[in-house]
């Protein structure tokens, strides 16, 4: 996991503590209400079964959360899967991994053919991770598969998770100079004026340690859809669709690595 300061659930629990303190000062104690268990609790690290099968799932989760460390042979930048697939792939509308194994193999427009879940992972290695393709039978791909299969265990075959993918936005045209203003005001504190961030806690958004120009995030509309729901990380949901397009257009006016066409099968 990342530094807890930037962790949304840590922030949420801090707010709960503050709310409880305020309530305590306000007079009569409210009757405590049992809170229902979070629907995501069964996907948390602590729910992974013990033993050898569990070890494979745990390794998959570690690769997901710290890809440059646990899959270093195949990674060419400073991004982890969980920098874009938030909360270890559990967060809705940041392309979550829950139930994903139940809808693969499926047709992939970029590849122009039906691809397996493993090929989809490899695609994110050559593009989003600016790396090289791990062999389908490698320990890294096997562990990621074990993790995503485990996250898919309660879903039905062929049925996508309700928060799958990104939110839908209308097609707009981003304004780069307005985007620069928004970036400096609302993003640069974390991602840096130079876009380099402070990995592994705060990921880069452009430059040599970012994803390459073949990645899904390298489309202004995809990034806008990611950003409007998930960023700024300390107040997500506060940008308008136009602002999300503007800031994404600005980020896309900056340099990033080139996709290696030798890997275009993925």
* Binding positions for ligand HEC, rule: CB under 6 A: 2, 6, 67, 79, 81, 83-86, 95, 100, 120-121, 124-125, 128-129, 144, 164-166, 186-187, 189-191, 202-205, 211, 215-217, 222-223, 226-227, 231-234, 247
What whole-number distance in Å separates Cα of residue 54 and Cα of residue 73? 23
User: Which stretches of 45-127 are assigned E, i.e. beta strand?
Assistant: 106-108, 113-115
Minimum Å gap between C-beta 256 and ligand HEC is 10
Minimum Å gap between C-beta 29 and ligand HEC is 34
Q: Give 106's strand partners.
A: 115
Residue 154 or 185: the one with the smaller Cβ distance to ligand HEC is 185
Minimum Å gap between C-beta 173 and ligand HEC is 17
Minimum Å gap between C-beta 33 and ligand HEC is 29
The tokens of 258 are what? Answer: 């080139």
The tokens of 13 are what? Answer: 């629990």
Minimum Å gap between C-beta 138 and ligand HEC is 12
What whole-number distance in Å separates Cα of residue 184 and Cα of residue 176? 12
**In the Cβ-directed half-sphere of 204, how many Cα atoms lie within 13 Å?**
22
Residue 13 or 234: the one with the smaller Cβ distance to ligand HEC is 234
Among residues 205, 225, 227, 183, the alpha carbon closest in space to that of 128 is found at 205
Residue 48 or 141: the one with the smaller Cβ distance to ligand HEC is 141
Instruction: Please report the sign of the dihedral spanned by the C-alpha atoms of residue 76, residue 77, residue 81, residue 85.
Output: negative
Residue 23 or 45: the one with the smaller Cβ distance to ligand HEC is 45
What whole-number distance in Å separates Cα of residue 119 and Cα of residue 265? 9
Residue 48 or 102: the one with the smaller Cβ distance to ligand HEC is 102
Under 8 Å between Cβ of 220 and 169: no
Residue 42 or 219: the one with the smaller Cβ distance to ligand HEC is 219
Minimum Å gap between C-beta 251 and ligand HEC is 6
The tokens of 93 are what? Answer: 């509308």
For residue 198, give the 3-state DSSP assignment: strand
Among residues 77, 86, 89, the alpha carbon closest in space to that of 204 is found at 77
The tokens of 5 are what? Answer: 């300061």
Residue 12 or 234: the one with the smaller Cβ distance to ligand HEC is 234
Minimum Å gap between C-beta 53 and ligand HEC is 20
């Amino acid at each position: 996991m990342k530094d807890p300061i930037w962790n949304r659930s840590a922030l949420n629990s801090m707010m709960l503590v503050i709310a409880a303190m305020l309530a305590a000062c306000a007079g009569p104690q409210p009757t405590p209400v049992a809170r229902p268990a979070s629907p995501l609790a069964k996907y948390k690290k602590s729910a992974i079964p013990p033993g050898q099968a569990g070890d494979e799932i745990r390794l998959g989760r570690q690769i997901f959360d710290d890809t440059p460390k646990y899959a270093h042979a195949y990674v060419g930048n400073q991004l982890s899967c969980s920098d874009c697939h938030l909360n270890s792939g559990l967060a809705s509308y940041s392309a979550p991994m829950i139930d994903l194994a139940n809808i693969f193999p499926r047709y992939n427009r970029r590849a122009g053919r039906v691809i397996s879940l493993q090929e989809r992972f490899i695609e994110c290695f050559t593009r989003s991770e600016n790396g090289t393709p791990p062999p389908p039978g490698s320990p890294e791909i096997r562990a990621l598969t074990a993790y995503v299969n485990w996250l898919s265990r309660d879903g039905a075959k062929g049925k996508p998770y309700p928060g799958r993918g990104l939110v839908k936005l209308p097609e707009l045209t981003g304004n780069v100079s307005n985007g620069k203003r928004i970036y400096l005001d609302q993003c640069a504190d974390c991602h840096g004026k130079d876009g380099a961030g402070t990995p592994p806690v705060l990921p880069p958004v452009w430059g040599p340690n970012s994803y390459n120009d073949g990645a899904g995030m390298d489309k202004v509309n995809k990034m806008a859809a990611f950003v409007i729901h998930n960023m700024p990380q300390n107040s997500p949901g506060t940008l308008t669709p136009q602002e999300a397009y503007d800031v994404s257009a600005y980020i896309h006016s900056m340099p990033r690595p080139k996709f290696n066409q030798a890997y275009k099968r993925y």
